[in-house]
Structure formats: structure tokens, C-alpha cells
A and B are shown apart, each in its own frame.
Chain A
Amino acid sequence: MSAVARAFAEPVLRADEVSRHAVRLVVIGDAPYITELARLPELLRAGDLVVVNDAATLPASLHGVTRHREPFELRLTAPIDGTRLHGVVFGAGDHRTRTEDRSAPPSIALGDRVWLGELAATVIASAGRRLELGVHARADELWAYVYAAGAPVQYAHRIEPLPLYAVQTGYAARPWAVEMPSAGRPLTWNVLLGLRRAGVELTTLTHAAGLSSTGDTALDRALPWPEPYEIPAATFDAIARTRARGGRVIAIGTTVVRALESAHEAGKGVATLRLDGRYHARVVDGLVSGLHVPGESHFELLSAFAPAAQVERAMALAADHGLSAHELGDACLIL
């Protein structure tokens, strides 16, 4: 197929937000079909294990000024480490400007003093637009500032700023994610307790989901960057139990896949794996994710779990039925 013909054949998915109580699910397989995500308990089997990412979403978009009073946006790229912040700087503009159309950030060099609100910080590492800041404050002062002045990373196609509560899952705990682990958004407690009643085991890990885009082509090519995670011993035990009884390990979201496929033991680690269609999963048997079209990195990841042609057919069906590929949209399931 020529590139032009392929472009015309590609599904065009809607891109609007969907209530987390009304999310639809395209089930990918030989014969794809569409159902409601709320029916997930009927689609899994007793003995399966569902693994979620319980990272809460940080208000990761902060604003600061240089010592020359030039404004910049700092988007956190990693969890807050004591009083150190890791982020990418952007120039003037707000979330309504497409990331790739933002003006260049002011020049900020190693050793420079910058200000985040009332808090002074020193640049302690710098690589292009990536910065590490040491903030001159106590940890509780820094956390108070982040929650008072920060906002969740916004999606350019949204007119009203997204509030912090709109980007949290129903089981979020430590604020490690800089963008929402959004596959878990439709997992209401009605669905989660329904899974338990159906004999499906639930367990958790924490994975610091990073930025999906920086607006810098060279930086974006390297995404996702290494992301910290922590997997409780209880989760490793649950995976072993599931294997022993012949159940399947179902990841809620690509961040769970990345953590589980990176880890060889319980505890903290840093995920460096880049997953694509050539990857053979070691731990994860199935996946719930958002909807993605060919060319997106998440599409590549889905094709590690099902043939690319199957995924494309399922996305075409989803497009025909008006499903949404928004981060806060509909979902797909691969078993």
C-alpha cells in the first residue's frame, strides 16, 4: 500500500473526553468487538490478576523566573526527590499553545539562580532544556508550593484548564506521575470490587509515568525516558500465585507493562525498556490501554501483544463506532 493510500485507510478516532463511568472498550482479537469497560469483570477469568499503577498525578506544571526576571514554565519529568526537581523548561505561552509551537525558553545555565514563586533554586544539572534544580527550602515548603502554584500538565486541545482531581485514578497514592496513568481512570470501585467478586485478584505497583511530549523533536524521539518504579513484594507474590494457578497477568496501562517487564525483583528500580512490536512480554499476558493509531509509540507497544493488523482492524472498528482516543477517552483490551 502506498503512503497516501495508507493515510486514507487509517482510522480517524474522535478526540473528546468521556465520563469515566461511560468508557467504551474495544476488545482486540481475531474478531474485534465493542463493549463497555464496566463489563471488564465478565471479560476476565477467576484466577487472573489485574495490576494497576497507583501513582497519583502531580501538579507538574510550575512557573518560574530567571535572575533576569524572564518567565519560564518548568514541567517536572520525575517524582520530587527530597528538595530536588527534575524537569524540562518551556518559554512563554500556556497550554493552549501546541507544545511544538511554544517559544524557546530563556537561557538557563548550570549554577544559575532561578525563582519558583518565593522559593529560590539553583541549577545543579543541565542538558539542553532538561534541568535539575536544588530548591532552597524544606521539603514541606516545597510540597506546599507545588500544590499551591502548580497545575496538572494540560492537553493543548482543551480550552478550560484541567483540574487536579480530573487526572487522578480511584486508587492513587503517592504523587509520582507527571502525566496521569490514564488507563486506570475508568476503573471505578464498582468495577474493581466486581473484579474481586469474579475471582480476579487485584494488586498494585507505583510507576512514575513521565511526559508524553516535550515539544522538542530530538528529546521526544528518546521518550519514554527512564522512569522510576516501585513494586511491592506482595505484587511479585501475586504474580507467582497467578502463574501457578494458570491465570493471566493483566496490566492496566502501558506504565504497568513497563514496570513489570523491567523488574526482576521487588523494590525500587528504573525502567529503561522501550517496548515495540518486536518485544516479547515476559510477565504481562494482557493489557488495558487507551486507543492509539499507527505511528504513535503506544500503538507500537500494543503490537507487542497482538499482531499490528489486528490492532489496526480494532482501531478502525473503534473509529466507526465513534470511540475517543483522548487521554481521558475510551479504552482497548488485549488478552
Chain B
Amino acid sequence: MTGASRGLGRALAEALAAKGARVALVARERAALEDVAAGIRARGGIAHAIAGDVAQKLQAHAIAGQAQGLVGEIAIAIHNASTLGPVPLRLLLDTECEDLADVLETNLVGPFRLTKILAGAMAIRGAGLIVHVSSDAAIEPYPRWGAYGISKAAQDHLSRILAAELADTGVRVLAVDPGEMDTAMHAAAMPEADRASLQRPADVAATLVAMIESNAPSGARLVAPSWSGS
């Protein structure tokens, strides 16, 4: 679980651990991550904190190696870490090229590197699930959400192509759109939003767990607010 120190990642890690999953938590800030891991352990779960930045090329094998050293073969990889780029959000023509590249590195290339490491092991054993956390910004061309929206649209397509290439291997690939939530990221992007009207990450996490446990076909893009189970 990347981006596991706060928001949806934290809630989803806690929900999966409560179901008995042994979770390897990945985020850049060790202290925040240790708190999440300690909380899970205090409730009888199994969690390990792995400090790492998915945007850093040379950290990909270190993250995957620590995770598999600590919890064994990975059954479910959840790419949840992502960045908006600089906030307040800017028009695309005001977005520095380097900022777009950085957003793609965190939201697209980093998850791709980890998937390259983990999906092969899943395919050779004939089972595994890769989950990409998406956004409606991948579908709707919201002004000022350019860098983020582009990265999420590309990640959705990565998810579909990977699903096509891994058809019949036992490895499934899903994109899940959690909808708008009351998170630090949402506050950074839309500080004027009415927080009371937003979904809580813990509630969304429960829906995402149901999606993960469902038999949704590989390559599917599942939307939490309209999810009715399958």
C-alpha cells in the first residue's frame, strides 16, 4: 500500500489489516507511517512501515524487497500514493514542464516501476491483484487539474493495457475511483469546499475493500460513489 501514512491509503490499509491482511505500508515520512503501523499492531493486525518515495527510481527495488522480505509474496499491490503538483492548482499553460514531469513520476512512472517488479512474481504463481487509485479527473477535463488529470488518465490506460497483456495469467488489474473525500489532498486542491459534504476516507475504504474482494473483471474501472457490488 503506497501513500499509506494518511487519507485514503491509511484508511484502506487499516481496513485490510482488520480483515487479516498482512500489510506493508509505504510512504515518504517514516514517523507518520510508524504511527499507522503501531495503530494496526495495537488492534492485533500485522503491519510494517517502509519509508520510501515511489518517485525515486532507485527506491523501487528497495521498497519491493523490504515488503517481500517482511510479509512474503505480495498478493495485492495498491498504488495509492499520488501528488497534485504545486497548489494552488494552475492552468495547464502556467504549469512548469518540470512540475508536470514530477507529477507523472509520482503518479504514473513510479507505480509502473513497482508493478514491473511485483506483477511478474504474481503472474508466475498465477494469482495477484494490482489496484490503481484513480480519480474522476482522469475522465473529466477539469480546468486547473491538468497535471494530475493527465497522470490519472494515463494510469487508467496503463491499467487497461496491463490487464489485456496479463489476460489468463491469473493476475487482475483494476482502477478504482474513490470519488471526492475529506482528505489533506482535497483541502489543498479545493480549500473552499464544504468538508461536511465530503465522504470520509474510512467509509470509502470500506467500499474499496468490497471492490477488491469482488470478482470485477480485470481491466475494469470501478467508481466508488456508484458502486453497488458484484
Contact with A along B175-205 (1 / 0, CB 8 A): 0000000000000000000000000000000
State whether the Cβ of A240 lies closer than 8 Å to any Cβ in chain B. no
How many pairs, one residue from A and one from B, have CB atoms within 8 Å of each other in the complex? 79
Question: By the criterion CB–CB under 8 Å, are A52 and B62 in contact?
Answer: no
Contact of B124 among A56, A80, A143, A171 (CB under 8 A): A171
CA distance A58 to B69 in the complex (A): 10
Known contacts: A56-B65, A58-B65, A165-B60. The answer to whether A140 contacts B121 by CB under 8 A is: no
Known contacts: A144-B50, A144-B51, A164-B61. The answer to whether A172 contacts B120 by CB under 8 A is: yes
Contact with A along B57-71 (1 / 0, CB 8 A): 010111011101110
State whether the Cβ of B96 lies closer than 8 Å to any Cβ in chain A. no
Question: By the criterion CB–CB under 8 Å, are B123 and A54 in contact?
Answer: no
Chain B residues positioned under 8 Å from A193 (CB to CB): 165, 169
Shortest A3–chain B CB gap in Å is: 45
Chain A residues positioned under 8 Å from B58 (CB to CB): 163-165
Shortest B10–chain A CB gap in Å is: 17
Question: By the criterion CB–CB under 8 Å, are A174 and B61 in contact?
Answer: no
A52 (CB) vs chain B CBs: closest residue: B124
Secondary structure at the B interface, as helix, strand, loop or mixed, is helix
Known contacts: A174-B69, A174-B72. The answer to whether A164 contacts B124 by CB under 8 A is: no
Known contacts: A80-B69, A189-B123, A204-B124. The answer to whether A168 contacts B62 by CB under 8 A is: no
Chain B residues positioned under 8 Å from A189 (CB to CB): 120, 123, 165
State whether the Cβ of B27 lies closer than 8 Å to any Cβ in chain A. no
CA distance A175 to B72 in the complex (A): 9
CA distance A170 to B61 in the complex (A): 12
CA distance A234 to B125 in the complex (A): 9
Chain B residues positioned under 8 Å from A170 (CB to CB): 120
Contact of A143 among B66, B117, B168 (CB under 8 A): B66
Question: By the criterion CB–CB under 8 Å, are B51 and A56 in contact?
Answer: no
CA distance A266 to B221 in the complex (A): 38
Secondary structure at the A interface, as helix, strand, loop or mixed, is mixed
Counting chain B residues whose Cβ lies within 8 A of the other chain, the interface size class is 20 to 34
Chain B residues positioned under 8 Å from A52 (CB to CB): 124
Contact of B121 among A54, A80, A139 (CB under 8 A): A54
Which residues A147-185 have CB closer than 8 A to chain B? 147-148, 163-165, 168-175
Known contacts: A168-B117, A174-B72, A189-B120. The answer to whether A140 contacts B66 by CB under 8 A is: yes
CA distance A204 to B68 in the complex (A): 16
Which residues B147-195 have CB closer than 8 A to chain A? 165, 168-169
Chain B residues positioned under 8 Å from A58 (CB to CB): 65
A203 (CB) vs chain B CBs: closest residue: B124
Question: By the criterion CB–CB under 8 Å, are A140 and B61 in contact?
Answer: no
Question: By the criterion CB–CB under 8 Å, are B65 and A147 in contact?
Answer: yes
Chain B residues positioned under 8 Å from A143 (CB to CB): 50, 65-66, 69-70
Which residues B62-113 have CB closer than 8 A to chain A? 62, 64-66, 68-70, 72-74
Question: By the criterion CB–CB under 8 Å, are B124 and A140 in contact?
Answer: no
CA distance A114 to B121 in the complex (A): 36
State whether the Cβ of B132 lies closer than 8 Å to any Cβ in chain A. no
State whether the Cβ of A202 lies closer than 8 Å to any Cβ in chain B. yes
Contact of B61 among A148, A165, A169, A203 (CB under 8 A): A165
CA distance A181 to B226 in the complex (A): 47
Q: Which residues of A contact B (CB under 8 A)?
A: 52, 54, 56, 58-59, 80, 139-140, 143-144, 146-148, 163-165, 168-175, 189, 192-193, 196, 202-204, 232, 234
10 contacts between A and B (CB under 8 A): A56-B61, A56-B65, A140-B48, A140-B50, A147-B62, A147-B66, A164-B58, A169-B120, A171-B121, A174-B73
